[in-house]
Amino acid sequence: MKNDPAENQESIKAIPEPTLRRLPIYYQLLKSRLNAGSSEISCTTIADALHLTAIQVRKDLEITEASGKPKVGYNIKELIAAIENFLGWNSKSEAFLVGAGNLGSALIGYQGFKEYGLMIIAAFDNNPAKINTSVYGKRIFDIKKLSDMVRRMKVSIGILTVPAQYAQESANLMTEAGIRAIWNFSPTKIICRPDIVVQHENLACSLAVLSKKISEVAARRIS
Amino acid sequence: MKNDPAENQESIKAIPEPTLRRLPIYYQLLKSRLNAGSSEISCTTIADALHLTAIQVRKDLEITEASGKPKVGYNIKELIAAIENFLGWNSKSEAFLVGAGNLGSALIGYQGFKEYGLMIIAAFDNNPAKINTSVYGKRIFDIKKLSDMVRRMKVSIGILTVPAQYAQESANLMTEAGIRAIWNFSPTKIICRPDIVVQHENLACSLAVLSKKISEVAARRIS
DNA sequence: CCTTAATAGATAAACTTATATCTATAAAAT
DNA sequence: ATTTTATAGATATAAGTTTATCTATTAAGG
Q: Give the pLDDT means over successive 10-residue stretches in chain B (223 positions).
A: 34 76 94 91 91 90 87 90 92 96 93 92 97 96 98 97 96 97 95 93 94 83 70
Q: Do B199 and A210 touch (CB under 8 A)?
A: yes
A109 lies in some domain? yes
Rounded-to-integer distance, Cα B132 and Cα A205, Å: 32
Query: Within this chain, do residues A113 and A148 fall inside the same structural domain, yes or no?
Result: yes
Strand A138-142 and strand A118-125: the pairing is parallel
Query: Within this chain, do residues A120 and A189 fall inside the same structural domain, yes or no?
Result: yes
Rounded-to-integer distance, Cα B92 and Cα B133, Å: 25
Whether the CB of B59 is below 8 Å from some CB of chain A: the reply is: no
Q: Do A189 and B50 touch (CB under 8 A)?
A: yes
What is the domain extent for residue A117?
A: 93-205
Best of A26, A207, A221 to mutate (most B CBs within 10 Å, chain B): A207
Residue A64 is part of a domain; what is its CATH number? 1.10.10.10
B212 lies in some domain? no
Query: Within this chain, do residues A74 and A158 fall inside the same structural domain, yes or no?
Result: no
Rg, C-alpha atoms of chain B: 21
Query: Within this chain, do residues A32 and A118 fall inside the same structural domain, yes or no?
Result: no
Q: Do A12 and B165 touch (CB under 8 A)?
A: no
Query: Within this chain, do residues B124 and B186 fall inside the same structural domain, yes or no?
Result: yes
| Nearest alpha-carbon partner for A107 in B131, A156, A99 | A99
Decide if pLDDT at A11 tops 50: no
How many residues in total does chain B contain? 223
B181 lies in some domain? yes
Decide if pLDDT at A13 tops 60: no
pLDDT at A55: 85
- Average pLDDT (A15-30) is 91
Rounded-to-integer distance, Cα B130 and Cα A51, Å: 34
B37 lies in some domain? yes
Query: Within this chain, do residues B67 and B124 fall inside the same structural domain, yes or no?
Result: no
B163 lies in some domain? yes
Rounded-to-integer distance, Cα A68 and Cα A44, Å: 12
Whether the CB of B157 is below 8 Å from some CB of chain A: the reply is: yes
Number of domains chain A contains: 2
Decide if pLDDT at A152 tops 80: yes
Query: Within this chain, do residues A73 and A156 fall inside the same structural domain, yes or no?
Result: no
**Per-residue pLDDT tens digits for A54-113:** 888 988 998 898 888 888 889 999 999 999 999 999 999 999 999 999 999 999 999 889
- Average pLDDT (A112-124) is 94
Q: Tell me which residues of chain B, numbers 188 to 217, contact chain A at a CB-CB cutoff of 8 Å.
A: 188-189, 191, 195, 197, 199, 201-217
Asked if B71 contacts B45 with a C-beta cutoff of 8 angstroms, the reply is: no
Whether the CB of A105 is below 8 Å from some CB of chain B: the reply is: yes
Query: Within this chain, do residues B63 and B136 fall inside the same structural domain, yes or no?
Result: no
pLDDT at B5: 33
Strand partners, A52: none
B7 lies in some domain? no
**Per-residue pLDDT tens digits for A190-202:** 999 989 999 999 9
B3 lies in some domain? no
* DSSP string over B126-173: S-TTTTT-EETTEEEEEGGGHHHHHHHHT--EEEE---HHHHHHHHHH
Q: How many Cβ atoms from other residues are within 10 Å of residue A221's Cβ?
A: 9
Decide if pLDDT at A9 tops 50: no
Query: Within this chain, do residues B100 and B182 fall inside the same structural domain, yes or no?
Result: yes
Q: 3-state DSSP call for residue B121?
A: strand
CA A63 to chain centre: 18
pLDDT at B13: 58
| Nearest alpha-carbon partner for A79 in A22, A15, A31, A12 | A31
Q: 3-state DSSP call for residue A80?
A: helix
Q: Under 8 Å CB-to-CB from A68, ≥6 apart: which residues?
A: A42, A43, A61, A74, A75, A79
A3 lies in some domain? no
